[in-house]
Chain A
Amino acid sequence: KAGVTQTPRYLIKTRGQQVTLSCSPISGHRSVSWYQQTPGQGLQFLFEYFSETQRNKGNFPGRFSGRQFSNSRSEMNVSTLELGDSALYLCASSLGGVGGNEQFFGPGTRLTVL
Chain B
Amino acid sequence: AQSVTQLGSHVSVSEGALVLLRCNYSSSVPPYLFWYVQYPNQGLQLLLKYTTGATLVKGINGFEAEFKKSETSFHLTKPSAHMSDAAEYFCAVRTNTGTASKLTFGTGTRLQVTL
Contact = CB atoms under 8 A, between A and B. Distances in A.
Contacts, number: 62
Given A42-B107, A45-B103, A48-B100, A105 B34 contact: no
Q: Label chain A's interface by main secondary structure.
A: strand
B105 A98 contact: no
* Interface magnitude class on chain A: 20 to 34
Contacts of A92: 44, 103
Interface in B77-111: 90, 94, 96-108
B42 interface: yes
A61 interface: no
* Interface magnitude class on chain B: 20 to 34
A102 B49 contact: yes
Interface string A30-60: 0101010000001101001010000110100
A99 B99 contact: no
Contacts of B90: 43
Interface of B: 32, 34, 36, 41-46, 49-52, 90, 94, 96-108
